[in-house]
Structure 1
Amino acid sequence: MSENSSTPYTIEISPITKPAGQYQWAIRRNGKLIERSDRPHPTEAKAEASALAAVERSMHSATSGRW
């Protein structure tokens, strides 16, 4: 995991064993887990796209005071 001072968010994409060949993601803010995927994604790219959408939702929620 690389540190980036311009954004507190990091996305981790990892393969899962069941079902084989699928991917999951986890989002961390300042190193703390804030959300992870609840379903497998068929490709790494789709997992990343889903994670980016979740980060955008999270950032929007943070600006409105929900997080």
Structure 2
Amino acid sequence: MNTEPMYPYSLEVMPCEKPAGHFQWSIRERGRLIQRSDRPHPSESKAREKGQAELERLFFGGRDRR
């Protein structure tokens, strides 16, 4: 996991209402919803892993990586 701060983005992982026992993630920029998972994940750790990967893609995607 990356230790660099991802400000202004934040990742939230929360349980789904349906199906019970599954989790979803959402990415916010200064509190405003930017993106959320389109499917439930079977565990909180899987949801966090997928959300973190998408957050890093958003955060680092616009930078020049030379």
**TM-fit CA distance, 1:6:** 6.5
Matched residues, number: 60
Q: Identical aligned pairs, as a percentage?
A: 47
Q: Which consecutive residues of structure 2, in runs of 5 or more, have no partner in the other structure?
A: none
One-letter amino acid matched to 1:7: Y
* Structure 1: gaps (5+ residues): none
Compute the TM-score of the two structures, normalised by the length of structure 1: 0.78
What's the counterpart of residue 46 of structure 1? 46
TM-score of the two chains, using structure 2 as the length reference: 0.79
Q: Give the 4+ runs in structure 1 shifted more than 2 A.
A: 60-64
Secondary structure of 2:12's counterpart equals strand
**Retained in 1: the 8 A contact 2:25–2:48?**
yes
How far apart in 2 are the matches of 1:6 and 1:45? 19
CA RMSD of aligned residues (A): 1.8
